[in-house]
Structure 1
Amino acid sequence: MFLITIAIYFFNTAQGQPIYDGMSFPFRCKEQQNAYNIYKERNQALQLELTLLQERHGNLIDQGQSLQQQINNLQEKLQNCTACPDVWIPLENNCYLFSNASATFDAAKDICNRAGAYILEDQSPREKSLTKTNGTNRMWIGATDNRQEGVYVYESTGSRVNNSDWVTGQPNGGRNESCAVAYKEENWQLHDYPCNYKFDYVCKKSREILV
């Protein structure tokens, strides 16, 4: 037996193979087992954290939907507590006054401001329908490039007018045309015009709370 062991030893040495001494292999397995246990515990902890986050996410969605429902309910109740002045037309939470005479842009703006309102600006689909029914063919929209030449913004918010809101090729008037006019026959898309021209207009303001 001793001779066989010696023979195997010299054979492995000659072949350049590592010699198993009965000690190093078990040590490597123990290290790998410890590493496996550590990573397994970390993975379990992460899975638990992920589950908690998913539950929290679901709870936040439910809370958001509940809050939105409360907002909708309050808006409905608020409409019963608000009203529009005489001759103003109510739509959702706002009131609209259609002019009975044309005016320059600055004059129209002043009339609306004195009524606590502003010239109608970016129109929603329902506002376009309202304007189509009650307005004239061409009307001022509350947008100018007075702040920066060529950059049209809405007067009340300062937000920029979308390129898609303009008729193709507009605005094209340069410094001579700094105010926006909506064309009924072109689905209320915009042209630029000199601000001293006279057009009809619409004043818009929030519904007033009843006292």
Structure 2
Amino acid sequence: MTQAINQGQQTKQWAVQEKKIDSACPSDWVKFGSSCYLFHDIRSTWIEAKTHCQERAGDLLQIESSEENDFIKAEMSSHRMYGAWIDCNAIDTDGLCYTADHTLTSYESWTTGNPTNNEGNCAMVHNGYWYSTVCTKVKDVLCEMNIIQPQAKPTKSTPLIACYVLDDSGRLHVPL
């Protein structure tokens, strides 16, 4: 535990920085399980959202469990997000959802009557349920980044090296 050098605001700022280091996520991202999530305050089309997330070393959200879905639902509510894109842009005639890299999703939470190709080939999440919609509509952007776990535990002979960038405000960032 680091000792405080000064009283007041600097002490609080130091504690926040220490928490960010422990979380293994870049600043402004939220950790849950083995992923970091960016609940962004922008809205865009599906392809713009995907590009935006990739520019930040992440990708569009891929919900893979009911626990993750519950977490996303709660966080979206707290961030006042009402419909965010998920990484599903190929809904086939059987209602199966494929990601942009043609992988079948491992978890689904479709609302009643969805998916339907009549509504579009992309999917969004709202209040814990998925909806098919047109990819050119404007929705909230929610990015996900997997946390890279070390392959071996650090020992005296196998050091663990991490790279972070300290910005002008004193926050740590993972370089892009």
TM class by smaller structure: 0.5 to 0.7
Q: Note the residue ranges of structure 2 that are not aligned, 5 or more in a row.
A: 1-20, 151-161, 164-176
Within 1, Cα distance between the matches of 2:142 and 2:106?
18
Q: Given that residues 64 and 105 in structure 2 are in contact (C-alpha distance below 8 angstroms), is that contact kept between their aligned partners in structure 1?
A: no
The reply to whether residue 105 of structure 1 matches residue 46 of structure 2 is yes
Q: Secondary structure at the match of 1:99?
A: strand
The reply to whether residue 190 of structure 1 matches residue 134 of structure 2 is no
- Aligned CA distance change for structure 1 residues 157 and 92 (closer, same or farther; 3 Å): farther
Q: Which has the higher Rg, Structure 1 or Structure 2? A: 1
Within 1, Cα distance between the matches of 2:140 and 2:126?
11
Q: Given that residues 152 and 161 in structure 1 are in contact (C-alpha distance below 8 angstroms), is that contact kept between their aligned partners in structure 2?
A: no
* TM-aligned CA deviation for residue 119 of structure 1: 0.7
Which aligned pairs between 1:48-197 and structure 2 lie closer than 5 A? 83-135=24-76, 136-145=81-90, 151-156=96-101, 158-160=103-105, 165-174=109-118, 177-184=120-127, 188-197=128-137
* TM-aligned CA deviation for residue 151 of structure 1: 4.6
* TM-aligned CA deviation for residue 108 of structure 1: 0.4
* TM-aligned CA deviation for residue 101 of structure 1: 1.4
Q: Secondary structure at the match of 2:140?
A: coil
| Runs (4+) off by over 6 Å | none
Within 2, Cα distance between the matches of 1:169 and 1:129?
21
Equivalent residues, number: 126
1:131-151 superposed Cα distances (whole Å, 9 cap, x missing partner): 2232122211110117x6665
Percent identity over paired residues: 22
Q: Given that residues 46 and 138 in structure 2 are in contact (C-alpha distance below 8 angstroms), is that contact kept between their aligned partners in structure 1?
A: yes
Q: Secondary structure at the match of 2:41?
A: coil
Within 1, Cα distance between the matches of 2:25 and 2:90?
31
* TM-aligned CA deviation for residue 199 of structure 1: 0.8
- Aligned CA distance change for structure 1 residues 153 and 115 (closer, same or farther; 3 Å): same
Q: Note the residue ranges of structure 1 that are not aligned, 5 or more in a row.
A: 1-79
Q: Given that residues 50 and 59 in structure 2 are in contact (C-alpha distance below 8 angstroms), is that contact kept between their aligned partners in structure 1?
A: yes
Aligned to 1:202: 142
Calculate the TM-score normalised by the size of structure 2: 0.60
Instruction: Provide the alpha-carbon RMSD of the alignment.
Output: 2.7
Calculate the TM-score normalised by the size of structure 1: 0.51
Q: Given that residues 44 and 140 in structure 2 are in contact (C-alpha distance below 8 angstroms), is that contact kept between their aligned partners in structure 1?
A: yes
Instruction: Considering fraction of residues, name the structure with more helix.
Output: 1
1:85-117 superposed Cα distances (whole Å, 9 cap, x missing partner): 110111222111011011110000001111121
- Aligned CA distance change for structure 1 residues 191 and 82 (closer, same or farther; 3 Å): closer
Equivalent residue letter for 2:131: H
Q: Secondary structure at the match of 1:101?
A: strand
Equivalent residue letter for 1:178: N
